[in-house]
Structure formats: structure tokens, C-alpha cells
Structure 1
Amino acid sequence: MSEITAPPDWSGPSSDPADQQFGDVVVGTDLDTVEEFDAVLVGEPYDGAVISRQGAAKGPAALRNSLAGMKTHHFDTGDIDSVADLGDIDIPSGSIAEVQDAVQEITGSVHELDVLPVFLGGDNSLTVPNVAPLLEDSSVGVLNIDAHLDVREVRDGPTSGTPYRQLHEAGLDSYACIGARHFETSTAYHDYVRENGGTIVTVEEITTDLAEAVDRALSGLGDVDRIYCSVDIDVLDAVYGGCSAPTPGGLLPRELFRLVRLFAADERIAGFELVECAPPLDTSGRTVDAAARTVAHFLSGWSV
């Protein structure tokens, strides 16, 4: 069974005593005390399944570092102040399938607790163990905020491009991809999503009417009991290229921030993840900072 490494010590770098930063409020915890908090960060430093550019294994540490220096105040909802850090899942050696199975032993324990898990990736292959425990006792829909559908067939083993095919085969009830880009997927995978009742909302639909795009994605999930929200940071435009698979024509950060805030307000939300952020490929930390703020915006929307 995988274990969890101790969380880092958090501190806010500002010298202004009036500043309240995530580094001042996030508290290290363990599975015995985590239910004292509203949300918990769980790091997943793994990129062994990436089919493009590696670097996402460094994501959790960089996201924490960026969050630590961010203010906790949102103008509409006030301060975020009940967040804990469980630490990083100790990723075992072995095949991608073996890693998914081992990680699921930990994520299953986290989902059993009365706290919102926020998984800091890591690559998209770990979406499978992040979501699979929810399928055991509920109807579940996934909101995949992503440039890609990630429903490739599993041929020689799972990859970062297969998670939603795997979850469909494990009993996922509904799926919506929001932020998909033209010329970034194959007809066969588009058809697979349609044949399985999924919903695809393109970037153009978001930029034309963001609120309507959110409504269409949520409607596409149907009347499920629980919703899991995944953000692949490659949904941003390629100028934010510190990710596994950057492509042009994506969202701006402010559009992504509004998206996650609106989704987070749904009372069925049962988990959130930020994946595919690859700090070694980043320029001036712009992608890491956008990704960390995405996490913060989700927490501010969820706490309403």
C-alpha cells in the first residue's frame, strides 16, 4: 500500500502583518485529524504516464509554493481559512496500472472522510484512482476542464490520455468535457464520447457565453449524486506552456477562474484536481501561478 509523506511547513512570505496568505492558514494534517477542516490538499507527484512532455511530477511542490504567497481574500466571498495539507502520496515503482491501484488505496481513504479532497497533480492518469472510489456507492459525473477528451483506448497499458475511457468502463455515469479544442482530438474519440452520452463544450462556446457553457456542461451530467471536477491546465492558451501538452487557442486564466468558481458552487461537488502542470517547462512561473490561482478560485466558489 502507498503511504503519505508528511506535509511541508507552510508560511506566508509577506512582511506586512495585515496580509493573510495561504501560507499563514494552511495547516499540515493526517488522516486522523483532517475532518477538522473543510478542504484538504493531497499531492500526487507522478508523471510516468504522460504521452507528451514530462515535468508534472514537480507540480505539487510548485503549486504549494505559489499558493503560500497568495492572499486568501476574495472580494465576493471573503477569506479562505479552513484548508489542510495531507502531504504527498508516496508513488510506488511499477507499471502505470500498478501505480493507479496503489494510489487508489489512499484516495479511497480520503473520500471516506467528511472533507473536500483537492488533488495536486501530477499527470492525468491519476484521475482514475481519484474518481474510482466515488463510483462504489454513488452515481457520479465528471467535469473535465481540458483541451482534450482523454478517452483513448487502453492498448499497452493506461496513459495520461486514457482516464475517462477507464472510468467509463468502471461505471462512470456521465462525462462532460469543457474547453475542448478543434483539431486536438480524433473523430473516433469524439464519437466514443457521443455514443456514451457525454457532452463536449468547446472553447468557442465558453468565450461566446460562459454562463451558458457552464449550464450546458452541468445539464449534460444529468441527475447524478456527486460531481468530480478535473482541471487539466493545458486548457489555457499555449502562452501558458508550462504543461504537458500546450496548444494554441485556449482559455485565458480569468475565464478559467470564473468557470471553476461556477462549477464549485454546485452542492454535489465531491472532489477537485489540478493536473498536468509541469514547472520545469514553465516560463517565469506563469503557468504555475495561474494553476495555483485556479485552485484558490475553486475553493472560494466551493465555500459559498
Structure 2
Amino acid sequence: ISRVAHGHLPLVLGGGHEVAFGSWSGLARHFEAQGEARPRIGIINLDAHFDLRDPRHVRSSGTPFAQIAAECHARNWPFRYACLGVSRASNTRALFTRARELNVLVREDHEIDALRLEAIVRELGRFMARCDHLYLSIDLDVLPAAEAPGVSAPAARGVPLALIEPLLEAVRDTGKLRLIDVAELNPSFDIDGRTAKAAARLIHRLTLDT
């Protein structure tokens, strides 16, 4: 994570989304080393799942953002989390309740369409304006199964690339993006390299002008 200190934009490529806790932990150590007392790190997760399951018994790809919330609480740091592309069918009521308790910005997959996209980009902009730094995490299962079959839980609906890209561009253009991770790519399950190509395109959009 010392790359951040030299103005670079680290990109983490992972399998399971448990990589997110390691990504955030490295970023947190960087800001502590820089002497930032209460950094406002905005986490933007493009994902069909909240990944807010209780980590006290088992830590997994379903717990990283709950772990981060606990770390923020222990450090007396604000926990700022936006989860876009959530599938109601793939998350329990308890997870939606937990998201409300943590004041998570939530947009479900069916809400992200061409008619509402501009309003969602503005809403995301307001979220990012209240942050000093941004950490973007992309779980490829946010995409429809036809675009990203090579994930552990292919989406029955998902949010198409054409609607994801404007969200990424809004994040990129703030100048606050410090870290990106891309999770859930499993080449063994991929078909014709579709998921890998989708991931490459998303990364290209994010790094185009950096």
C-alpha cells in the first residue's frame, strides 16, 4: 500500500470477496502512517450482496464489510459504505436491517436502469462529496450472468456493463479514488472469457485518465 503514498492507484485482483478486508486494512494502515486521525474513507461496493454477515464465528467472502465496520468502530472512524446493485433475492431481511442500522447507501439491481441512472449518479456524488478518500470494490457477480458467468453466484438479473460504467466514471472523476479491487473472477467457470473481458473493460474505464 506504500504505492498510495507515491501517488499510484493500487489494483487488487481477487477470487473471493474476502480480499476486501485485506484491501481496506492496507489502506487504513497507510492513512495511520500519514497521521490522519479520522480519515473519511468512502467504500463503494458494486455487488449483488451486502457482505455484511456477522464475522464473529466464521469470516468469509460474506463478512468483509462487517469486519471493516467493526474496525471503524474500534478506531472511532466514520463508516461510510455504499452498496450498489444489491439483489433482494440474494440477501436476507436481517442483512437489509443491518445495512439500515449502518446507514448504508443502498441501490438494488432493479433500481439501476437507464431512466434512473442520472439520479443515482447524483446521489452517489453526494455520498462521495462527504468523503476524503474512496475505496472501490467490484464484485463481478453484480453483472448479469450473460456478461459474467465466471463467478460463484451468477446473477439472474444483475446490472449491465452499460449501466455500471457511468457509476465507475463518476468515482474515477472525483480525484479521490485511492484503491480498487475486483473480486469473484474464476476462470474455471468462465465461458469464452466473458467475465475476464468484462473485468478488463471495467478496469480500463477506471484507469483511462489516471
* Paired position in structure 2 for 1:191: 97
Question: Hey, what's the Cα distance between the residues in 2 that align with 1:220 and 1:180?
Answer: 17
Alignment map for 1:194-209 (pairs within 5 Å): 194-207=100-113, 208-209=115-116
Q: Does 1:169 align with 2:77?
A: no
Question: Hey, what's the Cα distance between the residues in 2 that align with 1:268 and 1:118?
Answer: 15
Match of 1:291 among 184, 187, 199: 199
- Structure 2: which amino acid aligns with 1:213? I
Encode CA deviations 1:198-256: one digit per residue, 9 max, x unaligned.
11011222213212212223434561211101110000012221112112111222222
Cα offset, 1:259, TM superposition = 2.1
Check whether the contact 1:177–1:217 (CA below 8 A) recurs between aligned residues. Answer: no
Moved more, 151-160 or 289-298: 151-160
Alignment map for 1:1-304 (pairs within 5 Å): 108-135=1-28, 136=32, 137=36, 138-171=39-72, 173-207=79-113, 208-220=115-127, 223-239=130-146, 240-300=148-208, 302-303=209-210
TM-score, normalisation: structure 1:
0.60
SS in 1 for 2:170: helix
Gaps of 5+ in 2: 73-77
Check whether the contact 1:174–1:221 (CA below 8 A) recurs between aligned residues. Answer: no
Cα offset, 1:158, TM superposition = 1.2
Higher relative contact order (CA 8 A, sep 6+): 2
Q: Which of these two proteins has the greater Rg computed from alpha carbons?
A: 1
RMSD of Structure 2 on Structure 1 (CA) = 1.7
Check whether the contact 1:257–1:293 (CA below 8 A) recurs between aligned residues. Answer: no
Question: Hey, what's the Cα distance between the residues in 2 that align with 1:218 and 1:201?
Answer: 14
SS in 2 for 1:254: helix
Gaps of 5+ in 1: 1-107
- Counting matched residue pairs gives 195
Runs of 4+ aligned residues of structure 1 deviating over 4 Å after TM superposition are none
TM-score, normalisation: structure 2:
0.86
SS in 1 for 2:61: coil
Question: Hey, what's the Cα distance between the residues in 2 that align with 1:273 and 1:109?
Answer: 16
- Structure 1: which amino acid aligns with 2:182? L
